[in-house]
Amino acid sequence: MSTALGNHILVEFMNCDPHIMNDVAAIERDMVDAAKKAEATVINSTFHHFSPYGVSGVVVIQESHLAIHTWPEYGYAAVDVFTCGEMNAWIAFDYLKESFQAKSYSAIEMKRGSVNLLTRNDFDISSMRQKANEWVNPGFYTRNVWFTDKDENQALSLRFTGEVFYDHQSPFQRVRILESYKYGKMLALDDMVMTTENDEFHYHEMISHPALFMHPNPKNVLVIGGGDGGTIREVLRHPGVEKVTMVEIDGAVIEACKEHLPNIAASFDDPKLTLLVDDGIAFAQNAAPGTYDVILVDGSDPVGPAEGLFSVSFYTNCYNALKEDGILVAQGESPKFNEKAFRELNHTLQDIFGADKAPVSLFFVPTYPTGMWSFQYGLKGNIQGPIHQKEAEIEAFVSTNGLRYYNSALHNASFALPNFVKELIKK
């Protein structure tokens, strides 16, 4: 007869598949399945992914718990399996070893709660026992799986359902479509949230309409990046636009969004669109001077394939590719999250377009860290500042197209900057 209340195995799984070690959905599923294989009753699970890498989580079982912390960069997982009663923790161990593809492992087994060291209280537990007997496991468990986009000091977390609709390592990045409870399906590139079904309109309306109303007659538009299709969808709402060229480096993003985010990827079949799966940086370098009225740079954050989208040479090439009078809009990062990238981009645009020709528009995206995000402009030639005189025209457009973020008042208001932002970009 056991002289302990519980059994605890502390496991080191080493040389595991690093992709699995960074996949919060797969790890949650494997931990829950491991508990079930060992005939435990699962009560709930809470898992977090930490950007760029690492997963922590716990599965609470009626017989105690399973917990994990992973370091994908070392292919390592530290796992605890704590059980009470008859449950065999080693069944869970075997299952996880296979699932994580651990090439080496070790484990320590400890008895917990040695009854020889404990004194039993003599309080009356008969009423609790009665209640416990009446309690029926609801037959489902609660999942808490969190996707976290963060730097070293702050984060934004979205609880997601655990559903993964698309997961592909392209030559450029890991492309995933996951499902969040609050914002629906979302596109994540290398663990950073790019867009979600429920708040995508904030970004896509604000990257396109202010510039297209600021320009007196935009006909030829270039979109660099924007593989989810939301930006071209908005641009193509403007009847005066005759031609849109979109250059996206990663065909996997387009494929994933066409299949799983069709309301965002809604305009890929538009006859005005020329779609190129190609390097936008090289495209800008080779573009004929004076070609475009408006260039929209819908890139991801300045790591991985989008890093070059924040360089002086790229924006100089874009400047040259604009017509004599033209507007550039770039995804400008956040003045509260990545201040350095935000400031450096603005200084680059000031240097190329002129100190008073690089306005910034702020807007709100609840699924990006801090929520405060920006588009940064370069105004070339005679394009006048951001403030419009087109209230009636804009309001008619907003109502015809059922826009949900942009309107004529917001057009002007989004260029009004808080003092700390003005300070941040001052040269």
Q: Is residue 245 a contact partner of residue 207, using CB atoms and an 8 Å limit?
A: no
Segment interacting with ligand SPD (CB under 6 A) among 140-148, 227-235, 246-254, 414-422: 227-235
Among 32, 175, 177, 192, contact with ligand SPD (rule: CB under 6 A): 192
Catalytic status, residue 190: no
Between 148 and 300, CB nearer to ligand SPD:
300
Q: Which of residues 364-383 bind ligand SPD (CB under 6 A)?
A: 368
With binding defined as CB under 6 A, does residue 298 bind ligand SPD? Answer: yes
CA distance 131 to 85: 20
Binding string, residues 247-286; x marks residues near ligand SPD by CB under 6 A: ----------------------------------------
With binding defined as CB under 6 A, does residue 342 bind ligand SPD? Answer: no
Q: Tokens 């491991």 map to which residue?
A: 34
Segment interacting with ligand SPD (CB under 6 A) among 129-137, 224-232, 381-389, 411-419: 224-232
Between 173 and 300, CB nearer to ligand SPD:
300
With binding defined as CB under 6 A, does residue 21 bind ligand SPD? Answer: no
Binding string, residues 120-149; x marks residues near ligand SPD by CB under 6 A: ------------------------------
Among 195, 196, 317, 414, contact with ligand SPD (rule: CB under 6 A): 195
Between 75 and 335, CB nearer to ligand SPD:
335
With binding defined as CB under 6 A, does residue 415 bind ligand SPD? Answer: no
Task: Tell whether the torsion through CA atoms of 24, 29, 30 and 32 is positive or negative.
Answer: positive
With binding defined as CB under 6 A, does residue 228 bind ligand SPD? Answer: yes
Tally of CA atoms within 13 A in the half-sphere of 325 that contains its CB: 12
Count the site residues for ligand SPD by CB under 6 A.
13
For the sheet with 184-189, list strands across it: 104-114, 4-14, 76-84, 64-71, 55-61, 42-50, 142-150, 155-169, 174-180, 184-189, 192-196
Between 81 and 187, CB nearer to ligand SPD:
187
Catalytic residue among 30, 190, 298, 301: 298
Among 160, 166, 203, 363, contact with ligand SPD (rule: CB under 6 A): 203
Among 75, 230, 280, 359, contact with ligand SPD (rule: CB under 6 A): 230
Among 64, 83, 99, 231, contact with ligand SPD (rule: CB under 6 A): 231
In the 3-class helix/strand/coil scheme, how is 176-242 assigned residue by residue? EEEEECCCEEEEEECCEEEEECCCHHHHHHHHHHHHHHHCCCCCEEEEEECCCCHHHHHHCCCCCCC
With binding defined as CB under 6 A, does residue 226 bind ligand SPD? Answer: yes
Q: Which residues bind ligand SPD (CB under 6 A)?
A: 192, 194-195, 203, 226, 228, 230-231, 298, 300-301, 331, 368
Could you give the residue numbers annotated as active site?
298
